[in-house]
Structure 1
Amino acid sequence: MSAEPSPRRGRGRRPAAEVRSEVLAVAGHLLLTEGIHAVTFERIARESGASKTTLYKWWPSSGALAAEAFFTRSEPQLEFPDTGDLRADLIAQLTSFVALLTDGGAGKPISELIGAAQTDRDLAEAWSRTYALPRRELARERLQAAQRSGQLGADADLDIIIDQLWGACYHRLLVLRIPLKGLDVERLVTSALRGAQ
């Protein structure tokens, strides 16, 4: 994950993009170090130097802010490689995802976000819009490139492949609650690709 947010500055007039970036950095840091309960508009306003009015203008709830902050913090580590070797790229991306959840400390926050999204409509919408659907689209784009290059059959069901690969991670994390470190990513990818042929 990226470094801790910079210390709060004075309340002088700052560009909106700078304020938004600072708010997301503070929210992401609190989410990962203290959990979703720490991400409140009061605390974010105090630690980022933004006004609560600004926060309410940009996000409908603190949960929606937490979802966007998680995406902002995780995006650099979850870039999808395209080396031309689909199997290697899937292994690399899933390994990065598992490392984010385990070594990166995102397992607990992501569980909290998904859990809270079941009853917080604003958080659920923000989670889908800012994290889940964009991540899924990146995977779909990589699989479509593999279809164009002939590494994956034209009739392969891309959504099922995505569900198999990332669904296995979420199932272990949220349902079975067993360590993700035990997941054999190479075997998972091999099995999914073999089934797609």
Structure 2
Amino acid sequence: MASVRNTVPRGRGRRPAAEVRAEVLEAAGTILLRDGMRAVTFDRVAAEAGASRTTLYKWWPSPGALAAEAYFARSRRMLDFPDTGDVRADLITQLRAFVRWLKEEGAERPVSELVGAAQLDRALAEAWSESYALPRRELARERLRIAVRAGQLREDADLDIIVDQLWGACYHRLLVLNVPFDDGLVERLVDHALYGAAAR
């Protein structure tokens, strides 16, 4: 199987654990986005990262859990939540970045595979929920709380429902309906979540 990157001979001596972990996650993320989740095996990632399989078994309970953390590491820097003072604009910016990450930057297949595998892999399910889904949900909730305090949303606005409407719609189209969508959907999603569909 082709190598993800050219391996560089390691010097003598033990590398710091943080450096090894970062290189393992980088290798796993590259394999995941390029070749899919099934390609993320302890053997292949260890070889690509110049790490031992024993180290990977010690740090991750399953290849699925490793794939999930690698996905989190790759997505974190691309899905920051802005706060410009305009909640509509910030929701559009963040949701558009999420859709582009899925549709244009290679994350659509890995996300589908990770969510599917999480139904059968308890370690992966826990990693996805505790390390990604719930923290990202809380980031959205905090941005919406700021909007409530600024008077941009009603005090009784259900923040969880707004989050479900926005990101849940993307996951529903991706995982359940399996229909095409792109970032042209974003403004309509945000406006329906903020303003509703009732006649004025």
Opposite residue 52 of structure 1, the aligned amino acid is: R
Opposite residue 24 of structure 2, the aligned amino acid is: V
Aligned to 2:171: 170
The whole-number CA distance in structure 2 between the counterparts of 1:15 and 1:79 is 28
Aligned to 1:119: 120
Opposite residue 115 of structure 2, the aligned amino acid is: I
The TM-score with structure 2 as length reference comes to: 0.92
Name the CA shift for 1:144/1:118 in 2 (closer, same or farther; >3 Å). Answer: same
Cα shift readout 1:120-144 (whole Å, capped 9, x = no counterpart): 0011111112211111111011001
Name the CA shift for 1:180/1:10 in 2 (closer, same or farther; >3 Å). Answer: same
Deviation at 1:17, TM superposition (A): 0.5
Q: Which has the larger radius of gyration?
A: 2
Q: What's the Cα RMSD here?
A: 1.7
Name the CA shift for 1:150/1:109 in 2 (closer, same or farther; >3 Å). Answer: same
Aligned to 2:131: 130
User: Percent of aligned pairs with the same residue?
Assistant: 67
Q: How does 1:1-197 map to 2 (within 5 A)?
A: 7-10=7-10, 12-181=13-182, 183-195=184-196
* Structure 2: segments with no counterpart, 5+ residues: none
The whole-number CA distance in structure 2 between the counterparts of 1:190 and 1:45 is 46
Contact 1:80 1:93 survives alignment (8 Å): yes
Cα shift readout 1:17-53 (whole Å, capped 9, x = no counterpart): 1000000000000000000011011111111011111
Deviation at 1:183, TM superposition (A): 4.9
The whole-number CA distance in structure 2 between the counterparts of 1:92 and 1:110 is 20
Secondary structure of 1:77's partner?
coil
Deviation at 1:67, TM superposition (A): 0.4
Opposite residue 16 of structure 1, the aligned amino acid is: A
Aligned residue pair count:
193
Contact 1:8 1:48 survives alignment (8 Å): no
Runs of 4+ off more than 2 Å? 4-9
Deviation at 1:5, TM superposition (A): 6.6
The whole-number CA distance in structure 1 between the counterparts of 2:5 and 2:138 is 29
The whole-number CA distance in structure 2 between the counterparts of 1:20 and 1:41 is 13
Name the CA shift for 1:6/1:161 in 2 (closer, same or farther; >3 Å). Answer: farther
Secondary structure of 2:155's partner?
coil
Contact 1:5 1:29 survives alignment (8 Å): no
The whole-number CA distance in structure 2 between the counterparts of 1:183 and 1:83 is 22
Deviation at 1:116, TM superposition (A): 0.4
Contact 2:27 2:48 survives alignment (8 Å): yes
Opposite residue 10 of structure 2, the aligned amino acid is: G
The whole-number CA distance in structure 1 between the counterparts of 2:183 and 2:83 is 26
* Structure 1: segments with no counterpart, 5+ residues: none
Contact 1:5 1:25 survives alignment (8 Å): no
Contact 1:36 1:109 survives alignment (8 Å): yes
